[in-house]
Amino acid sequence: MSDTNPVARIETSQGTITVELDIEKAPVTVANFIEYAKNGFYENTIFHRVIPGFMIQGGGMTADMESKATRAPIKNEAANGLQNKRGTIAMARTQIVDSATAQFFINVVDNDFLNHQGPNPATFGYAVFGHVIEGMDIVDAIQQVSTGSRNGHRDVPVEPILIERITIID
């Protein structure tokens, strides 16, 4: 753990995942994530998209599969040199490059195809902004839960995986 990087404690219904945030390589993304965490935005959201052998995604929906209102989207920092490797945390987004708001995902395998490969939208990639330093066993347990379809979404855990809170440890 670095002396300068903030650490986020993601407390879930399955256990705690601790993530070191890379403030130097992803300053905009880290500041955005910290602001959402400190404002309590992530409390009682869920991991709403879980795909074994790929990633677990959460941070924007309630257990009722309702999207929470977010702040404006941020700049995509996918060109920061950080790679979508197993155990990294990155920002979820739409097809629009600079569309990330609050949702994030944790890679459960190396997902090189999500890395920045060029300036156009199809190859821009997904911004990694930190990595798991404790609790990868929790991430692995979450990726194994049973999923189904709910409210028009696929890969939704049958039993909600609650994000109780995210605390920033300075």
Residues with Cβ within 8 Å of residue 90, at least 6 apart in sequence: 84, 104, 105, 106, 107, 114, 126, 127, 128, 129
pLDDT at 2: 54
Q: Mean pLDDT throughout 130-152?
A: 97
- For residue range 97-139, list pLDDT tens digits in order: 999 999 999 999 999 999 999 999 999 999 999 999 999 999 9
> What single DSSP character describes residue 67?
B
Whether residue 66 is contained in a domain is answered as yes
Report yes or no on 1 lying in a domain.
no
Beta strands per DSSP E along 52-152: 55-62, 88-91, 104-107, 128-134, 147-150
Quick check: is 21 in a domain?
yes
Identify the domain containing residue 123 by its residue range: 7-169
- Kindly indicate the confidence band of residue 4, based on its pLDDT and cuts at 50, 70 and 90: confident
Percent of the chain with pLDDT over 90: 96
